[in-house]
Structure 1
Amino acid sequence: MNSAASGSLSRLRAWFPDREFFMRSQGQVRFIKITGKVQMIAASAVIGALVAWGLSMAVMGWLQYRAAADRLSLLEREAQVANAEERVGAYRDDIGAVADDLKRRQTFIEEMVDSLPADAREGETVTDSTSEASKTVSKVSAAIPEAAALARIEARQLAFVERLTRYADRRAERSAKAIRQLGLDPNAMVRAAGRGAMGGPLERLSTARDGSIDPRFERLGLSLARMEALDRSLAGIPQYRPANVEMLTSSYGVRRDPFTGAAAMHSGLDFRGPIGAPIYAAAKGRVSFVGQRSGYGNVIEISHGNGMVTRYAHMSHFASRVGQEVAPGDVIGAIGSTGRSTGPHLHFEVRINGRAVNPRPFLEAAPHVLKEARRVQGEPARG
C-alpha cells in the first residue's frame, strides 16, 4: 500500500475510533463496544442510501423538467397563433394569399379525415382560439367587407379542427383507460407503434404557402395519430377464446412436465378438444408464421402490432397463410396433437416483445373491458 493510501486510511480510522457505551439496568452496568469497522460499514450504508435517494430525486426532477418543458413548448407554439389584429393585417395585405392558405388548410382537413365523427360535438367548449377566430370575423368584416366570407370560412375551419382534436383526445383517453385496466401501459404501446416498419417519401405538412403549419393543425395531427395507435392497440389485445371447448387441461405457470415428471415452466394455456375442432384468432392481426417449431409441432403465429403476438400450437392442419389479415373469431386452423403432445389439444400463448405472459387475464377481462370501451365510443360491439 502506498503512503497516500495509508495516510487516507489512517485519517479514516481517526474519524471512527472504537467507542464504548455503558447501560445501567436494574442495578447492573453493561458495556457495549462498537468497533471502528462497524461504524465505517454503517456510515457506508447510510451514504449509499443517501446517494441512491439523491439519484432517484434527480431522475424524478429531470422527468418533471422534461414534462414541464414539453408543456411549455406546446404553450409557446399555441402562443404563436395569430391574433385578430394580425389576421386583419394579413387580409388587408393580400386577400389572395389568405384565400390560398385557406384552401391549403381545407385540403389538409379533407386528407386527414373524411367526415366529422358523430360524437365529436359532445362536450364542446369555447376555447381561446375559437374566441379569437370570432373576433377575426367581426374585425375583418368591419375593416374589409369583401373578405368577410373568407374570414367566416377560416373560423369554421378552426372550429372543426379544434372540435375534432378534442374528440380524438377523449377517445384516446378512453382507449388508454381500457388498456390500463388490462394491466398494460398505453404509452409503451404507443411508443412501440411508432417503432414499427415505416417508409416512403417525405411530405411535410403545411397550412401556408411558406411551408409552415398552424399549431392547431399540428396538434390535431398528433392527437389523431395517438388515437389511431391506441385504437390499433385495443383491437390487437387477445379477446376471443381461441377454442370452443371448456376443458382447460393446463394453465400458465410452473407445472409437472408430462414427459419427464420434473417441474417445468408452461408458457401458455392448453385447451383439450377433438382432432379437427376449429381454432380461432384471438384478436385482430396479421398471420406472421405458419409452419413447425420444435416442441410445438404445427404452429400459427399472429402479429397484433406493438410487439404482441399470439401462438397456436399442436395443430392438425392450417386454415390461414402468412400475410393474411384476420379478425377476432376467424378460423385459422384445427386442433391436433403434433409436436411434443400427449393428446389432441390447443396450446395457446401470448407474447409481448418475445416474452410469454399469462393469456388468462386477457381472455377473461378483455371482452368486457373492450365491449364497454366500444360502447362509450359509439362502435358496434364484437364477439
Structure 2
Amino acid sequence: MRSQGQVRFIRISSRSQKIAAGVAVCVLGAWCASVGALALSQVSTGTAQAALAGREAKVARAEHSVEQYRENIDTVASDLARRQKFIEQMVDAHISDLPESTEAAQPEAADETGAKVKKISALMPEAGALARIEAAQIAMVDRLTRYADTRSRAASDAIRSLGLNPNAIRTSARTAEGGPLVKLVTSGDGSVDPRFRRMGQSLARMGALENGLASIPQVSPAHVAYVSSSYGYRSDPFTGSAAFHAGLDFPGPMGSPIYAAAKGRVTFVGQKSGYGNCVEVSHGNGLMTRYGHLSGFRAHVGQKVDAGALIAAMGSTGRSTGSHLHFEVRVNDRPVNPRPFLEAAQTAQSNLQNNNQPQKERS
C-alpha cells in the first residue's frame, strides 16, 4: 500500500479470510431465508384464499339450494307428489309388492343426500320435511333399481342355462308396441330425473326377461308316469325301419287332459298329416310347442294360454298305434329335444323363485 511515498504491506491471515468468508455466507444465507419465507408466506396466503373461496362457493350453492326451496316450496311439493306417483306406478306395473329386503344405497350417495337434508333443515326448518321426503324417495328409487337389476341378472342366467340368448328374448319382446303417449314427468320444468329414468329402464328390462323366461316350455304337457318313445332315432312302429322321432310320446287313457307347456298364444287347431288332430302354441322368441294325436280340442286359434292351461284331450288320431300324446318343442321351426329343455326350465324357474324371495323368508 503506497502512501506519501512510502510502501507498506498489510497481511491478512488465513483465519481472518475464513472469518470474513463465513460472515459473507451467513449474510447471504440470511437474505435467502428471508426471501424464501416471504415467498412461502405468499403461497400460504394464496392457498388460504383459495380454500376460503371454495368454502364461500359451497355456502353459496347451499344458500342457492335453500333459496330454491324457500321460493318454490309449492313447486317442490308438487314435484314430490309426481315422483311418488311415478314410483307407485312402477311398483304396481312390475313388482306389485315392495321388496322387503334390497341392497342399501351407495354410501357416497347417501352421504350427499344426508348432507343436503341437514343444510336445508338447519337454514330453513319449514322445508326440512320436504327435503327428508325427497331423500327417502331417492333412496327408494336406488333400492328398486338394484332390486330390478338383481332379478334381471337371475332371469338372464336362467335363460342362458337353457341355451338361449337373453338379449334376443328381451329385444323380441318389443316387436309390437303402441298406445297413447303418457309422459312420466317428475319435475316442474318437464324433465325426468335420470335416477327415475334409470329405475324405469331397469324394471322394464326385468319384466321383459322374466316374461321371456315364463314363455319357455316348463310344464309337463301330460300327467303320466313315463315316456313311451323318446326324441331321436328309433324303429318306426309301422314299418320297423330306422326313423327320426321329433318329440316325446306320453301314453295315457283316451281323453286324458293335455296342458300348455308354457304361456303363449294358440296359433293352430286342426289336423296335420301324421299328427292327426293337432294344437300348436307359439311362445314368442321363435319357440313353438306342438301337441299331436288328440281326441278333442279345448282351445281355439288366437287364444292366450298360461303354462298348465288345459288345451286338448289325449287320443290316437293320425299315425298312431294307441292313445298317447306326441309332444314337440320347435325353435324357429326346427325340432329340439323336449326332455332336457323341460328339465332345465324347471330347475331354472326354481332357482329364480328362490332368488326372488325376500331374504328373511329364505333364512
Q: CA deviation at 1:120?
A: 4.8
User: Does residue 317 of the first structure (1) align with residue 296 of the second (2)?
Assistant: yes
Unaligned runs of 5+ in 2: 1-60, 359-363
- Alignment correspondent of 1:111: 89
- Alignment correspondent of 1:368: 347
Whole-Å Cα distance in 2 between the matches of residues 224 and 307 of structure 1? Answer: 24
User: Which residue of the other structure, out of 157, 160, 174, is the alignment partner of 1:194?
Assistant: 174
- Alignment correspondent of 2:159: 179
1:103-135 deviation line (CA, Å, top 9, x unaligned): 211111121114784645333243433332222
User: Does residue 350 of the first structure (1) align with residue 325 of the second (2)?
Assistant: no
User: Which residue of the other structure, out of 140, 152, 169, is the alignment partner of 1:160?
Assistant: 140
Q: For the Cα contact (< 8 Å) 1:120–1:167, is it kept in 2?
A: no
Q: For the Cα contact (< 8 Å) 2:102–2:146, is it kept in 1?
A: no
- Alignment correspondent of 1:212: 191
SS of structure 1 residue aligned to 2:134: helix
- Closer, same or farther: CA 301–94 of 1 in aligned 2, 3 Å: same
The amino acid that maps onto 1:251 is S
- Closer, same or farther: CA 317–135 of 1 in aligned 2, 3 Å: same
The amino acid that maps onto 1:100 is S
Q: For the Cα contact (< 8 Å) 1:120–1:163, is it kept in 2?
A: no
Question: Aligned runs of 1:1-383 on 2, under 5 Å?
Answer: 87-88=65-66, 90-114=68-92, 117=97, 119-195=99-175, 197-255=176-234, 257-258=236-237, 265-378=244-357
Q: For the Cα contact (< 8 Å) 1:161–1:220, is it kept in 2?
A: yes
SS of structure 2 residue aligned to 1:183: coil
Whole-Å Cα distance in 1 between the matches of residues 62 and 251 of structure 2? Answer: 70
- Closer, same or farther: CA 89–255 of 1 in aligned 2, 3 Å: farther
Using CA pairs under 8 Å that are at least 6 residues apart, name the structure with larger relative contact order, 1 or 2: 2
Number of aligned positions between the proteins? 296
Whole-Å Cα distance in 2 between the matches of residues 85 and 256 of structure 1? Answer: 85
Could you tell me the TM-score, scaled by structure 2's length? 0.73
Q: CA deviation at 1:372?
A: 2.5
Unaligned runs of 5+ in 1: 1-82
1:83-121 deviation line (CA, Å, top 9, x unaligned): 977744532442222222212111111211147846453
SS of structure 2 residue aligned to 1:240: coil
Q: CA deviation at 1:225?
A: 0.7
Whole-Å Cα distance in 2 between the matches of residues 257 and 224 of structure 1? Answer: 50
Whole-Å Cα distance in 2 between the matches of residues 204 and 112 of structure 1? Answer: 13
1:293-318 deviation line (CA, Å, top 9, x unaligned): 33322222223333322111121101
Whole-Å Cα distance in 1 between the matches of residues 353 and 219 of structure 2? Answer: 15
Q: For the Cα contact (< 8 Å) 1:84–1:133, is it kept in 2?
A: no
SS of structure 1 residue aligned to 2:357: coil
